Structure 1
Amino acid sequence: MTARLIDRALGRGIRSQPLKPDVSHNIILYLEDITVSFDGFRALNALNLYIEAGELRCIIGPNGAGKTTMMDVITGKTRPDAGSAWFGQTIDLLAMREPAIAEAGIGRKFQKPTVFGSHTVFENLELAMAGDKSPWKILFAKLSGEQLGRIEQVLETIGLTHERDRDAGSLSHGQKQWLEIGMLLMQDPQLLLVDEPVAGMTPQETERTAELLVSLAGQRSVVVVEHDMDFVRSIARKVTVLHEGSVLAEGSIDQVQNDQKVVEVYLGE
């Protein structure tokens, strides 16, 4: 019996799909026996992965290990050949399309930041706010006190309060990355997937990004895919190593670094 079904057997019946994930058993994401093949190549091979509510998880692995495909499955971009993917106890991700998955509470940040360069930082966050996205609503609606407070809160979280009236296109690379994370936070995701967030950053920006991601854990679950091992060491609570589409090792950064299998296939030390 799978872990999700075991959890449900502890006293849960089948319920209609909720707006928010049911994390009563402290697991927000269940990936079980996920297999994805492309032209005969298995990008994911019976992958099993469980993410706890509120945790910060780092996913590492060599190129071709399946990291991007895994995120594609979670967000509905790729449909697996086999397996199951559940957001909490009752939200079946494989029965949903990408917009519905995002609306349910899964946000994804790609490696290259995509912000509205001709709009201010504040306007970017306003445009990203969860709710009515009709042109009329965006152009003419007055923000409520609650909405303004939410934007101010996110500005503070991402460290861009003093840049609120600056065009996003003039921000540094790191600041654009933080703004895009802020845009995702405006949608209040319960699970945030972040792909190589510090690529191309200065050391100072990398340090600030580490602080930002650590601060988000607990409020929501954060999954970080990263190649920079120094950065992983600075934020990791638990690390999962993928290799050939499956989990090779999992544990603390020290446990992973001392795992001979990991050393042979990934770290090269």
Structure 2
Amino acid sequence: MNDPVTVEPGTVEPVTVVRRDRPTVDLGPLDPARGTGRPVDRDDDDEAGLYALVEQVRRIRALTTGGMFDTDLGPLTDRIRRVADELEAASASPEQRQEVNWRERRYASNCPIIGRSNVLAPPAEFELLDDGTLRAEMTLGLEYQGPPGCVHGGVVALLFDAALGRVNHHAGTTGMTMYLDLDYRSPTPILEPIVVTARQVRVDGRKVWSQGAVHAGDRLCATAEGLFVMPAEWVAAYRQHRDEGAGEG
């Protein structure tokens, strides 16, 4: 065991933490009542039947969260265990799946928000409006609950990280999250429809800023701003995408 470190008073210099200015989120373009757009991030190619299987696992996940049943669960548990054993025997290893997913660019289908092959993903279907705003309606169940009747704050943050990242993707400026600044304005409800919106607001070199909002009806639940940075090797691809778009106009 390492000996404890003793620090003499006055021998450590104070650390200055520089705080960013809080962002101002323009809610006009993020109005949940703006209408619908064209579906995006939807993969319906389920030749292997994986998405159909995941849908049934999601049903089990939802039903067993805080589950209350008037039957003996033993026989059901035994049947599910046998199915899980069969799947385990037929499945590739996590390492193999990870390697193939990245090599074949299956990012969206594995996303914990929009991934049809990810059992954690809620029933979110994103649409892209004509001005590039991303929008999704969804109803989150008990499995996403934090405080009673409310979506867990960490889940709200996950929704924003995914939505802001996807709106950047559709603008041709995919990047890695550097910071995510959230304001929780009011509780985000479970078991009620909510609308998540996101839009890109600025690009400066490899830096990309985007903003988003969550509404329940007309009530604002949360807002967010994120800074994303494009890896250097992605910049050339972004510039090509941008130039092609300008040529089409």
Q: Give the structure-2-normalised TM-score.
A: 0.24
Q: Please state which structure has a larger fraction of its residues in helix.
A: 1
Q: Which has the higher contact order (CA 8 A, sep 6+)?
A: 1
Q: Give the structure-1-normalised TM-score.
A: 0.23
Bigger radius of gyration = 2
